[in-house]
Amino acid sequence: METISKARAHGGTQGVYKHDAQTTGCPMTFAVFVPPQAENGPVPVLWYLSGLTCTHANVMDKGEYRAAAARHGVIIVAPDTSPRGPGIPDEEGNWQFGSGAGFYVDATQAPYATNYRMWSYITEELPALIAKEFPADMSRQGIFGHSMGGHGALTIALTYPDRFKSCSAFAPIAQPSTAGWSKPAFEKYLGTDEAAWRAHDATLLIADGHRFSEFLVDQGTADSFLQDGLRPWLLEEACKTAGIPLTLNMREGYDHSYFFISTFMDSHIAWAAERLK
């Protein structure tokens, strides 16, 4: 693991790191904030999965999470959203697919299957590295994310309910198998057999019997993607049918940007920290 940068913040340390990932077959960069409480021993870990077009840097620079993470004593891990670099297949100019748009799945279709293995990277390889290199209490993990990353957080939590003690999301893609900006990516990554998509759709995972203790979702009413891409009412309906507690906050006047995310970041970290105690 290579250290790209380190800076003191709120009594803790904000770092950026790079390593050669076996799952994605390329160098991967990620950010980690370690709170001051880690000086006395391992602390809980909260994973943040970013949305389309983002890298680790978007939430690190604009998410305003460090003060809350230091106050509650949690590590924040912010991975990248896709493999990147020379030789990685991509669609130049398509912000909804390829570079910056890994959708947190393991691709099964050529030529993407070799590198686009973000599911395995997020659930297997990077956690092993975090456990080895940082003062992380891996028995206390939570996960949250935004948009495409909200979709990733929900599906990962539903698949590994015993690993994660909290899951929340900002404006998640509730049903990516039918949303206009994710369905084409699913076809290219996973093939045209829609049965293979169910493992990466929160509403369908719930319909298939997967459960999680409870979810927190914040969604802006002025989000331009609300009606066609995000559709939180589909998640609300699925959770209601399955008896999964869901707190869905419709935030009047807020959009899809980091102005929205940073406004409610403190409440999401506090909510997660309570469940990570």
Count CA within 13 A, CB hemisphere, residue 22. 5
Sorted by sequence, the CB contacts under 8 Å of residue 257 that are 6+ apart come out as none
Any catalytic annotation for residue 20?
no
Q: Is 28 exposed, middle or buried (0-12, 13-18, 19+ CB in 10 A)?
A: buried
Any catalytic annotation for residue 256?
yes
Q: Taking the chain, what is the end-to-end CA distance rounded to the nearest angstrom?
A: 29
Q: Classify residue 89 by its DSSP letter.
A: -
Q: Kindly list the strands in the beta sheet with 2-9, ordered across the sheet, starting from the edge strand earlier in the chain.
A: 2-9, 12-21, 26-34, 75-78, 43-49, 136-146, 164-170, 215-220, 246-251
Q: Rg of the Cα trace of the chain?
A: 17
Question: Residues 152, 122: contact at Cβ < 8 Å?
Answer: yes
Catalytic residue among 146, 210, 256, 268: 256
Any catalytic annotation for residue 223?
yes
Structure tokens, 149: 């990353």
**How, if at all, do strands 215-220 and 164-170 pair?**
parallel
Strand intervals (E) in the chain:
2-9, 12-21, 26-34, 43-49, 75-78, 136-146, 164-170, 215-220, 246-251
Catalytic residue among 82, 147, 166, 168: 147
The full DSSP string for 108-130 is -STTTTTT-BHHHIIIIIHHHHH
Catalytic residue among 90, 106, 201, 223: 223
Residues labelled as active-site residues: 147, 223, 256
